[in-house]
Structure 1
Amino acid sequence: MFKMKRVAAMAALCAAAASPTAFAGWSGNVGAFSDYSFRGLSQGKGGDAAVQGGIDWEGDSGLYAGTWASNIGFGGGTEQDFYVGFGGSVGELGYDFGATYYWYPEEDETDSDLSTLEFYVGVSFSYFSLSYAYGDETNFFMGDGDAEEAGYLSLGMELPITEKLAFTASVGQYSGDEIERYFGGEEDSYIDYSIGLSVAIDDNLSASFQYIDTDIDVSGFEDDPKFILGMSYGFDL
């Protein structure tokens, strides 16, 4: 059983931090993707497609909260995330910090303990964003109730090519005691990276393509490069 997951909301929240009043109020999003990858690793079963969606609220002050869900290939088949945070800007520098709770509602049915609380902080400037997320007990790796700490450092870029087309890239490092435990003591960190394109079809609908891979070289752990196609639709409520 594979036990890892994501903070996809992080990239959107870092981007929004540069203009905290731009999205004040309620909004929603739905999407379909050929795979669900979190920090370089697939969350599906054999590359299954993922249907995802969320609801967000943001106030004029920069305070925000939301929830997001996806089908997954472990822990009973469902992931539900809840997050709350605060974002703003100082000049051209955006900032963002908060917490995310990853909940697996059917985990009891699989006799596992996967739900995890993470805290995160991020900054953004121009086309770049930098973020760090930390969990004191990162249960979603092993799900055995004996989780230890792990942190994820990520650098992202979204570079406009035309008015509707953008080049995206990211690199991240996941490290900590739980990573070492997960890999059986062979490694205590790994690096993931991605490159891709995003296309704004209209004001609400967008498409994306990503190539994702990692540097994992651990005996018994298969990690193939991933090519992920996706469509997402955002709307005001």
Structure 2
Amino acid sequence: MLPILPSPTPTLSPAPSSSSNSLNILRLTPPSSSSDQISDPRSSGAPPMAVKVYVVYYSMYGHVAKLADEIKKGASSVEGVEVKVWQVPEILSEEVLGKMGAPPKTDVPTITPQELAEADGVLFGFPTRFGMMASQMKAFFDATGGLWREQSLAGKPAGVFYSTGTQGGGQETTPLTAVTQLTHHGMVFVPVGYTFGAKLFDMDKVQGGSPYGAGTFAGDGSRWPTEMELEHAFHQGKYFAGITKKLKGSSA
């Protein structure tokens, strides 16, 4: 630990390295004058750093991936927001996936838990298994213990979207039980609410989604997200990106 020195408080800077010693040695240097201070980029006219929104999903048959594509489009429509789509690692073998009739994985990059810390906000997507998130997504959350220990995700906004097989298959229980994962990380859950408007109240046709987030029904696998469900996903992406941008701006 460095000793307490009298005012003016010294700053630390690396001393030049020499060929005889490859280690960087810290030396004490006097504080810079006011004319040498680094100016705030917000006052110097420098462009602000982009807000990073990650869309992280698991999709076995492609329904959640389809929602993720629309969510990316919606989030990307917000100025100053940079969106990156990831998928979580698969935990089933190719043999098992083949017996389940799952198509080959897409070329969307696979995320590691540590990479979550780079995002300013994260939207998680997953299919339902008995009213809760699929085990692939749960396994990914189980691997984020290091981030929890370091509180790397605390304060970051997070949202969810999902797919179920039937109307009573978990359109609300799945996102509701997923909130426990976000809570333990100290993330800020951002539901889409009823900001999508009157279409959420349409009773003339079957439609997924809820105030928790965008959703779709897969049925036996042959039903794909409807136009309305994709619109809901686009809206959620745009809405979430706007909230994330506001939160990052207020903390800058």
TM-score by length of 2: 0.30
Q: Greater RCO between the two (CA within 8 Å, min separation 6)?
A: 2
Which one has the largest radius of gyration?
Answer: 2
In proportion to residue count, which structure has more helix? 2
